[in-house]
């Protein structure tokens, strides 16, 4: 009787060890597959990040802060570029407060509305691109600007367009 119990315990132990081995093997393979998938995903994400960085550099190409010639132009006139950029934008945004027709935007606002400049991007030491809207119609303008010795800024409309309204 003792021999049968020992044999049954031995068989039970062998079956338990085999079950543990098979289960551990499946868990190990599953973990390796997930790690491989995560590595592939991480590599894909790295490629996406590199592409986005290149896109960002392309978008920043026409930007006063990255244009050494334009920065030198202002520094030769005695201006601090990092104080001047917000000043130029503020001067342009202040035109939104003008009574009646907007001083730069050549289009009239729809009834009961006012045209305002929303976004401004300073391209270089001479040009600004901006978008405008009255809440119903919108468009963009290309503006030439001139910084005077007393830090006042003069704006001159170069080109404008209004998006078609459907």
The rounded mean pLDDT for the chain is 89
* Closest CA relative to residue 145, chosen from 158, 154, 136: 154
Query: What local confidence, expressed as pLDDT, does residue 166 receive?
Result: 66
What is the SS3 assignment for 149?
coil
Q: What are phi and psi of 127, to 5 degrees?
A: -125, 150
Query: What local confidence, expressed as pLDDT, does residue 51 receive?
Result: 92
Query: What local confidence, expressed as pLDDT, does residue 154 receive?
Result: 94
Given a cut of 70, whether residue 12 has pLDDT beyond it is: yes
* Closest CA relative to residue 118, chosen from 95, 100, 146, 93: 93
Given a cut of 90, whether residue 35 has pLDDT beyond it is: yes
Calculate the CA 39 to chain-centre distance: 26
Dist CA 48 CA 143 (whole Å) = 35
* Contact predicate 147/74, CB 8 Å: yes
Dist CA 71 CA 106 (whole Å) = 30
Given a cut of 80, whether residue 56 has pLDDT beyond it is: yes
* Contact predicate 104/143, CB 8 Å: yes
Domain boundaries, the chain: 1-59, 64-162
Report residue 78's pLDDT band, with 50, 70 and 90 as the boundaries: confident
137-153 confidence digits (pLDDT tens): 899 999 999 998 888 89
Burial 20-51 (b: 16+ CB within 10 A, else e): eeeeeeeeeeeeeeeeeeeeeeeeeeeeeeee
């Amino acid at each position: 009787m003792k021999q049968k119990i020992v044999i049954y315990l031995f068989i039970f132990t062998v079956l338990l060890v085999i079950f543990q081995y098979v289960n551990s093997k499946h868990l190990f393979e599953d973990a390796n597959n997930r790690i491989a998938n995560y590595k592939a995903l991480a590599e894909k994400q790295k490629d996406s990040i590199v592409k986005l960085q290149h896109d960002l550099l392309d978008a920043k190409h026409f930007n006063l802060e990255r244009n050494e010639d334009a920065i030198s132009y202002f520094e030769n006139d005695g201006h601090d570029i990092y104080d001047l950029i917000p000043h130029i934008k503020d001067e342009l945004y202040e035109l939104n407060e003008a009574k009646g027709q907007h001083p730069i935007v050549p289009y009239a606002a729809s009834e009961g509305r006012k045209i305002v400049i929303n976004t401004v991007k300073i391209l270089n030491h001479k040009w600004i691109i901006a978008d405008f809207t009255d809440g119903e119609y919108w468009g963009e303008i290309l503006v030439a600007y001139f910084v005077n010795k007393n830090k006042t800024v003069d704006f001159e409309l170069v080109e404008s367009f209004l998006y078609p309204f459907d």
